[in-house]
Structure formats: C-alpha cells, structure tokens
Amino acid sequence: MGSITLEAVTKSFGGVKVIPGVDLEINDGEFVVFVGPSGCGKSTLLRLIAGLEDVTSGRILIDGQDATGMPPARRKLSMVFQSYALYPHMSVYKNIAFPLKMAGMDPAKIKEKVEGAAGILNLTDYLDRRPGQLSGGQRQRVAIGRAIVREPSAFLFDEPLSNLDAALRVNMRLEISELQKSLGTTSIYVTHDQIEAMTMADKIVVLNAGRIEQVGSPLDLYHKPANLFVAGFIGSPKMNLVEGEAARSRGATTMGIRPEHLTLSKTEGEWQGRVGVAEHLGSDTFLHVHVQGIEAPLTTRVPGNVEVSHGDTVFLTPDPARTYLFGPDGQAL
Amino acid sequence: MATLHTRSSARLMLTPSVILLLCWMIVPLAMTLYFSFLRYNLLMPGTEEWIGFLNYQFFVEDPAFWASLINTLLLVGGTLLITVVGGTFLAILLDQPFFGQGIVRLLVIAPFFVMPTVSALVWKNMLMHPVNGLFAWVARAFGAQPVDWLAEVPLLSVTIIVSWAWLPFATLIILTALQSLDQDQKEAAEMDGAGIFSIFWHITLPHLARALTVVVLIETIFLLSVFAEIFVTTNGGPGTESTNLTYLIYMQALLFYDAGAASAGGVIAIILANIVAIFLIRMIGKNLEA
C-alpha cells in the first residue's frame, strides 16, 4: 500500500513562494519521476512529502490518511539522499540495520532482514566495511539497502545518481528500475536529467518554478507536450522551436519540430541552410543547420552516417504530421 | 625543487632555531635533574652536596605528596567532566538558531580571556565569599545557612573556578565540530525513526568523538599545572585539602626554600604527566586516526 495525494500544497520560505500550489495523485506501486531544471522546487516537493519540511498550506495524504502534521518517521516512507547520508562511523551492516534497530526489532530478525537486503544488492561481502571504504556505486547500494529493509509504503529518491560517473549511472538506473518493479513499492524519484525520467518513470511530473507543467507517461509527454516548456524539456536532442514566418503560415506563434522529424536533402526542401557543427555518433548524425530567418540553428538527426561537412548547403523539410504548434501563451494548439 | 642541495641548505638554515629550541628545553630540564640530586637549600648557601635519591625519598614520604597527587587527579578529572559535558550541552544550545546568536556566542567565549588571577579574585570575593558573596546572598534569601565555599569544600571550589574558565574552550571546539555535521545524516536518521536522543547518541556523539578527544588532551595538559587559582583563593588549604602537585612544588621551593626537594618534585610531576598522557593516548588516541 502506498498511494500519496497532494492537495493544494504550498510552501514559502520567508516571503518567497517556492511552491505556489500543487495537486497531485500518486497511485500505489507507481514509479513517479519529478523532473525539471534546477531550482524548480522538485526537491522541496519531495522533502514536503517526506516531512522534512512543513507545508505552508494544503494537505498531504498517505494511504488516505492525513499525514500533513506527522513527523517523518511515522509516515512510513524511506528516502535515498543525493549525498547518500550514510552514517560514517557505522559498518555497512549497522547502517542498514539502523532503521530496524530504531523500530525496536528483535536482533535475530534484524540480522535476517539485513542479510536479505544485502543479498539483493550484492553487498554481502562488504557488511563489515565502513562507508568510507566503499566505492560510489556501493555507497549508493547501501543507501538503497537502508531504505528497503524497513519495507516502507514508498521510496523517495532525491537525485540519487548525480554523484556517479556516466557508465555507473546507466547501470544503477537499470538496477533501481528492476528493484522497484520486483518490490512493487511506490517510488518518487527526483532528477533534473530527462533521460532518467524517460527511461525509469511510469509517470513523469514536469515541474517549472514550483508549478506542475504536465503530468503523464513518458511517451505522452514526448508525443503530446502541453506547452512550450515541456516540449523543450523532454526529448534529446532538444526540440527545435521556430518562430516567425514558418510558424505564422501554420497559424501558430511558435512551431516545434523534433530533430528526428526533419528530413535532410541535398537538393530540395522547405528550408535552405548551411551546415554548422556536425556530430557523427556512428549510429546517428546530429547536424546543426543555420537557416536564414531562423535565429537558433536547427538540430536534425539523421540515422546512420551522412557525408556532409561544415559549410555545405542542405535543405530541411519538417514532417507535417509531427509538428507541434503553440499559441501566443505558450500552450499547445 | 627538492634536490639534495636545497635539502641540505634547508637543514643548515634550520639549525640555529633547532639548537635554540633544544637548549631552551634541555638546559632547564638538565638543571632540574641536577638540582634534584643535591642538598640545595636557599637558606644554607654553600652547603650544596650530592645526596643521591634522598630528595625524592623526602618528597614522596611527605604525607602532603599523596594528598596533592590525589587532589591533582581530582581537579583534572572533575574539570574535564564539567567542561566536556557542559561544553557539549552549551554547544548544542548555541547551535540552534536564535535572536542575538552572534553576541551570545561572543559572550560565551569571554571567560577564557580573563586572567586566572582575576577570575579567582572575582570568584573568591564576589561570588563565594561567605558574607559578601552572591551565593551567600542567594542562600540567605532562601533562609539557608550560607556555605563558606573556600573553607568547607576548597577543592570543589577550585574545580568550579577552573571549569568556568575552561568551559568556553570546550564549547567553542565542540560547536565548530557540531557545525560540520552533515544535515543529511540527521535527516536520514530522522526518517529512519530516530528521536532526538537517539540522533544525539548514534549520530552526533560519534561525530564529536574527535573534537572531544582534542578537548580532553589539551585541557589535561594545562590542568595538570593549575596554580594561580589555588594561590589566590585557598593557598592550598585548609591543610592540604586543595594542594595540587604544582602548588606543593611551589611550597617546597619558595616557602621552604628547598630547591633540591622542589626539583625532585618537578621531576616526579614530569613523570606523572607522562603516565597520564600514555593512558589518555591509549584510551582515546584512536579517535584521532582518520
């Protein structure tokens, strides 16, 4: 069990409204990712749910129970911190056992549970070590171990992968997803990395300046962005946003076209441009094309390798079925 | 540029200061050792002669020696207890956000800058005095018989005066250690279901171990040689009730003019200090390892 409901939650620090009002429904067993640029209030929202900050107004319900004024320990949530927040003077075993010890559990049962968690997380050989003697990935796993032994109603992850190197991050991403699916526990995961959001989430919550811009499944957000912010944030490389004549002719203020939906031609097309930087990845080629009358260079993604070089003239044509049109208020038309 | 040449010239340039420091230490030590084997009384000049270990025997067989040894340990131990426990408590209070934090922190440090003689005089005449003192006034306000602190509980009084001076030192060091505690760890413990006492015991105290070790070691070094507070308040009395080893050596040298016995006492004090140091390092020194 682990459904979480936010009702008109607001948070101010001093006079500054960090979260002007959020309503959100998180169902039992869901993997929800809060994503947004830094300073958008996603970590604050997580800390409000955890109980580490008090809400200024509004209600938080956990499993249908009002948890707004509850201390963190009684909310039955566990959290994995960005810094891992392991206890440096305790062994790995004691770190993982700490929440159970605080709950006053029988030592024999603690041992069984800690060893179970260590088995799942490949930590069995490291139980006697101190956190200082572990690598970044192992520390991460200890922090996760400490979170899962309590069998909480939900896990909260606060940018857990941002201290790891790129290769390890991809691995841990898979491991966390795998673990969450096998445990079936509700999880809230905060990140600024939209790739993590797209790959892990059942439901993505896009936040900007403390407001929810859009909630939906990863592909929902990719195919039907509700506004300019979501359109620009989700997808890699970023969606091209074109203003001016090209957008006006389609009856919009801004037109969006993803790099993968632009067709490249050397002979004819809607826009003529000059190739700037060409990034050859082998599987794909990303071209940055400077087009007369469009301010930012258009990024286009071409499968495989194309033989173009800096300064070549090329033509680009947007796929008419896959253009996104936005009105003057930034909302999708 | 650590070539052989620069290293040897560096050593050459260091030599004068090393020699100076060595003389500074070795000469008094050697002279003390030498005097401790002489009959050397300032009232009988010209009768100095080698008497072997007689001075040591005389000093150790003096009933005041054992009393002063116990007093020294009680004074050091009592002050350490008060300053470490009180310092931790004060540091936790000062770590909380409150109005006027800066000025309060400044005031807390102030006693450490008061000269021992001055603080002892203030305590003796304005606080502990059985007639004029503040404590006596408070006792009378409740209808109780005022306590003559320096006469009835002299060692405790000295311990309190010394603790008052050293409490700020302990507080300051522990406060800086507290401020370096990662807030995430406290929050993690809070989410793990630890109450404030559990957090203090399992998270804060282990984090403070190193700072507490430094406080204990430094204070011990200085507290073994407390003198001014005793000299100004009780003069070691009544009897030998508040005489510590330092004060006993002072009595031998400057009240009885027996430089030989005082030197022997000095050597014994050095040995005692080293024994205490060895025990301390054994007990808590491992906290200093990274």
Tens-of-pLDDT digits for all 290 residues of chain B? 567 788 888 899 999 999 999 999 999 999 999 999 988 888 888 888 888 888 898 888 888 899 999 999 999 999 999 999 999 999 999 888 888 888 888 888 888 888 999 999 999 999 988 888 899 999 999 988 888 888 889 999 999 999 999 999 999 999 999 999 888 899 999 888 888 899 999 999 999 988 998 899 889 989 998 999 999 988 887 888 889 889 999 988 888 888 888 999 999 999 988 998 888 888 777 777 65
- The answer to whether B244 touches B68, Cβ cutoff 8 Å, is yes
**Cα nearest neighbour of A155 on chain B:** B191
Q: What is the pLDDT of residue A311?
A: 86
pLDDT given at position A142 = 92
Report the residue of chain B nearest A133, measured CA to CA: B290
**pLDDT, tens only, A60-78:** 999 888 888 888 888 889 9
Whether residues B194 and A73 touch (CB distance < 8 A) is answered with: yes
The reported pLDDT for the residue numbered A269 is 85
State the nearest Cα–Cα gap between A209 and chain B, in angstroms: 24
User: Distance (Å) from the C-alpha of residue A106 to the closest C-alpha of chain B?
Assistant: 16
Does residue B4 form part of some domain? no
- How many C-alpha atoms does B23 have within 13 Å on its Cβ side? 5
Which of B184, B192, B201, B289 best tests the A interface by mutation, with the highest count of A CBs <10 A? B192
Answer whether B184 sits within 8 Å of A50, measured CB to CB: no
Domain A4-231 listed as CATH 3.40.50.300: yes
Q: What is the pLDDT of residues B253-267, one digit of tens each?
A: 888 888 888 999 999
Residue B253 is predicted with a pLDDT of 85
d(CA A150, CA A79): 11
Tell me, what's the pLDDT at B1?
56
Mean pLDDT of A176-195: 91
Asked if B190 lies within 8 A of A72 by C-beta distance, the reply is: yes
Q: Report yes or no on B126 lying in a domain.
A: yes
- Work out the average pLDDT over A194-212: 91
- By the CB < 8 Å criterion, does A85 face chain B? yes
CA dist., res. B207 & res. B181, Å (int):
7
Q: Based on C-alpha coordinates, what's the Rg of chain B?
A: 24
Closest CA–CA distance from residue A308 to any residue of chain B (Å): 51
Q: Which domain holds residue B232?
A: 55-288
Residues of A in contact with B182 (CB under 8 A): 83, 85
| Residue B18 within a domain | no
Q: Is residue B44 part of a domain?
A: no
The answer to whether the CB of A276 falls within 8 A of the CB of A294 is: no
pLDDT band at A1 (very low <50, low <70, confident <90, very high): low
Please identify, in words, the CATH class of the domain defined by A237-326: mainly beta
Number of domains forming the structure of chain B: 1
Order the strands of the A31-35 sheet from edge to edge. Answer: A77-80, A154-158, A186-191, A31-35, A203-208, A211-216
Contacts of A52 in chain B (CB under 8 A): 187, 190-191
Q: Does B209 touch chain A (CB under 8 A)?
A: yes
Residue B255: inside a domain = yes
Three-class DSSP labels, B42-82:
CCCCCCCEECCCHHHHHHHHCHHHHHHHHHHHHHHHHHHHH
Query: For position B281, what pLDDT does the model report?
Result: 84
Cβ-based contacts of B202 with chain A (< 8 Å): 87, 90, 98
Flag if B192 and A83 touch (Cβ within 8 Å): no
pLDDT of residue B290: 54
pLDDT band at A163 (very low <50, low <70, confident <90, very high): confident
**ipTM for the complex shown:** 0.82
Which distant-in-sequence residues (6+ apart) come within 8 Å of B81 by Cβ?
A: none
- Ranges of each domain in chain A: 4-231, 237-326
In angstroms, the CA B204 to CA B216 distance is 18
> Which residues between 223 and 242 in chain B have a beta carbon less than 8 angstroms from any beta carbon of chain A?
none
Compute the distance between CA of residue B133 and CA of residue B230 in angstroms, rounded to an integer.
18
Q: Which residues pair with A323 in a beta bridge?
A: A257
The pLDDT of residue A108 is 92
CB contact under 8 A, A73 and B209: no
Question: Which residues of chain B lie closer than 8 angstroms to A87, CB-CB?
Answer: 185, 188-189, 202-203, 206
CB contact under 8 A, B194 and A77: no
Q: How many CA atoms lie within 13 A of A271 on its CB side?
A: 25
The CATH number linked to B193 is: 1.10.3720.10
Q: pLDDT digits over B172-203, tens only? A: 999 999 999 888 899 999 888 888 899 999 99
pLDDT at B106: 85
Please, what is the Cα angle at B33 between B27 and B38, to 5 degrees?
120
Q: Do B192 and A73 touch (CB under 8 A)?
A: yes
The whole-angstrom distance between B202's CA and the closest CA on chain A is 9
pLDDT of residue A307: 83
pLDDT given for residue B3 in this prediction: 77
Is there a contact between B167 and B119 (Cβ–Cβ < 8 Å)?
Answer: no
A192 — contact with chain B (CB < 8 Å)?
A: no
Q: Any CB–CB contact under 8 A between A96 and chain B?
A: no
Pair A64, A56: CB distance under 8 Å: no
Nearest CA in chain A to B188: A85
**Given an 8 Å threshold on Cβ–Cβ distance, is A87 in contact with B203?**
yes
Q: Please check whether the two domains, A4-231 and A237-326, share a CATH topology.
A: no
* Closest listed residue to residue A259, CA positions, set A322, A184, A193, A325: A322
Burial class, B172, CB count within 10 angstroms (exposed 0-12 / middle 13-18 / buried 19+): buried
B117 in a structural domain: yes
- Cα separation, B9 vs B1, in Å, equals 12
Q: Which residue of A has its CA nearest to B205?
A: A89
The 10s digit of each residue's pLDDT in A83-134 is 889 999 999 999 999 999 988 889 999 999 999 999 888 889 999 999 989 9
